[in-house]
Structure 1
Amino acid sequence: MAPYNISEWQALMRSAQAGDAAAYRSLLEALRPWLVAYFRRRLMGSDGEDLVQMTLLSLHEKRNTYDSGSPFLPWIAAVARHKLIDFVRKSGRHIHVELNEELGLEDGMQPDLAARDVAVLLAQLPKDQARIIKLHKLDGLSVEEVAGQTGKSASAVKVTVHRGLKKLQSLVGIKGGVNE
């Protein structure tokens, strides 16, 4: 894994938000190698450099939205991920990203980043629907077990899960059917 100094990035971002132009330049320079590696692993070809520039520009435009009390890496990783998604959507390309534990470690991201993203998405659903999806899809309970815990019929659980997953897909911009 590359020797990224994530705590330094956070300190630089805090200083940049306080108006330190030198810290801001240092932050942009420090992020460049990580962003190049992030996009290179996900895309083939020369598109990575364009995405690095777009991400750095987005960081500049959205720097006031960063909460200095929160970890910086998940924030910048989300900005980069959104730029990648936008790029893939606009280009009409499909990319295959291997989902494994090493992928997150190579990025320097914490393993709980995906869990945080899921929690944010589930919070946008009605509480009952989010609970049922969590029990069935995340906790691995069968439809019958979820029905027993929630007092709903098995068919009501299936419908709730299906509708909830469709809503989650629409929240992240995915069109089409639900694969259960």
Structure 2
Amino acid sequence: MADDWAPLMAASQAGDTVVDRRLLDELRRWLERYYRRRLPSSMLDDAVQDALVAIHTKRHTYDPSKPFSPWLAAIARYKWIDRLRSMRTHHTEMLPEEHALPEAMVVGDAATSILSAVVLRDLIATLKPAQAAVIRLVKLQGFSIEEAATVTGQSTALVKVNIHRGLGRLSEKVKGYAGDHDD
């Protein structure tokens, strides 16, 4: 399909706005599929939009004598990496309802819920970045091991190891905290 887009891109570069619109519409669908496998659903629309803007503004860099697919894939990949970096610096952790906490951790009022979310965020921040990333993806956002491996660039075995070690470290921290506050 991407080979069909090369002539459309050439026409777009020549200023054909009708073809440009068609090309961007077709690329939108491709980008949605690309990012759906790589990012949390909450980031999908923004990632697609960022990539479309980059494609449109950088279209002059495409050489019509070369294949279109690698050029498109490079832009999509760079925007995906930008999204992954933003996940690392994003300071709030939302827990989707479908991935609710175990019953023992459920809290009753809003103030306690907020405090629990802050404590969870701070606990996860103590982990190694690779451990924190896969715990967020698999345990909090519901990604599969394979999806987390794709998003983070880790092997599936390493994702499993990082989850196991990260959860072990969190468990030790929580035990230490509980021991410090026993009456």
Larger radius of gyration: 2
Q: Name the structure where helix makes up a greater proportion of residues.
A: 2
Q: What is the TM-score when the length of structure 1 is the normalising length? A: 0.49
